[in-house]
Copies of this chain bind each other. A is one copy, B any other.
């Protein structure tokens, strides 16, 4: 399995390629399915979720399929109602309320495991199924704000003003996400990824004190390779390997070679083409893709990916040009 080999830093003739939000609105076949089903109905129905998960593999023959779901999905299993409008929306919680949440009953979200099982059955043996969860700090950021935010000030206020309750809340979410990721592995996920989308809002000292132990609680002891990704976090790169994951995602802000050196070459790296590149034209896409490959310099352990999720306005031809370039196919 090419993705697993890359994570194990084995030599490969080319890096594996997949990309964040690859099963999403830029795909006409995705929009077709979503014209008939709401986002949450699609996530909750294993047949629909697995079909969507496979769409980018069918179209681009990518090396991995990440389960169609959302980082907020397992919060249902904690008794939290989340609407998608289209971003997550919920009643804001206090940090004490988050700390008092029960542990995850993964049976409440076993539709995710069922979807993973269906994907694993359809996908060739050499392609990986990726499960995922939101990292505790990122989940708490949404729970405290009641949705998205440009600043996530409530998280930052909790970290500063109520550090003990914040640690309790994050460790509790970490244990629940550990249960959730374990259930995805049991269902057939070959790799799991922890998305810490808003960890970069914290200072490095706060990240080390709050985000790091909670991310470790989510990942430690899982029976599959792990990837940790904190976008918008160039200030965290020197510290991030303390998470203990096998691979680290990096956004587009620093060259891949510099980011890899700062994380450490004893870990695999995943990234880091700016998704804005995919809004240009195939020639520009090929040249920017080659630049990332050149920065990786064939070093074992590179997983080609974007530096952030693909944009919904992305032309299909540009995605095809990116994948073909990674595969060494001439235009």
How many chain A residues touch B (Cβ–Cβ < 8 Å)? 32
Which residues from chain B contact A253 at a C-beta distance below 8 Å? 200, 202-204, 235
Q: Are A150 and B153 in contact (CB under 8 A)?
A: no
Q: Are A276 and B153 in contact (CB under 8 A)?
A: yes
Segment 53-89 of A: residues with Cβ below 8 Å from B:
none
Total identical chains: 2
* A151 to B21 CA separation, bound complex (whole angstroms): 15
Q: Tell me the smallest distance from the CB of A31 to a CB of chain B, in Å.
A: 19
Is A331 among interface residues, defined by CB-CB distance under 8 A?
no
Tell me which of A2-10, A155-163, A182-190, A210-218 binds B: A155-163
Name the one of B161, B235, B255, B288 contacting A160, with C-beta atoms under 8 angstroms: B288
Q: Tell me the smallest distance from the CB of A283 to a CB of chain B, in Å.
A: 10
* A203 to B257 CA separation, bound complex (whole angstroms): 13
Segment 231-268 of A: residues with Cβ below 8 Å from B:
232, 234-235, 252-255
Closest B residue to A259 by beta carbon equals B235
Q: Tell me the smallest distance from the CB of A211 to a CB of chain B, in Å.
A: 13
Is A205 among interface residues, defined by CB-CB distance under 8 A?
yes
Segment 134-185 of A: residues with Cβ below 8 Å from B:
148, 150-151, 153, 156-157, 159-161
Name the one of B156, B234, B280, B281 contacting A234, with C-beta atoms under 8 angstroms: B234
Which residues from chain B contact A156 at a C-beta distance below 8 Å? 274, 276
Q: Are B203 and A274 in contact (CB under 8 A)?
A: yes
Q: Tell me the smallest distance from the CB of A231 to a CB of chain B, in Å.
A: 11
Is A311 among interface residues, defined by CB-CB distance under 8 A?
yes
Is A284 among interface residues, defined by CB-CB distance under 8 A?
yes
Listed by A's residue number, 8 A-B pairs whose Cβ atoms lie within 8 Å are A153-B279, A159-B276, A160-B274, A160-B276, A160-B277, A202-B253, A203-B254, A235-B235
Given A151-B308, A160-B277, A205-B255, 14 extra CB contacts under 8 A = A150-B150, A151-B311, A153-B275, A156-B274, A160-B284, A160-B288, A161-B279, A161-B280, A161-B281, A161-B284, A202-B253, A203-B253, A204-B254, A235-B235
Enumerate chain A interface residues (CB-CB to B < 8 A).
Answer: 148, 150-151, 153, 156-157, 159-161, 200, 202-205, 232, 234-235, 252-255, 274-277, 279-281, 284, 288, 308, 311
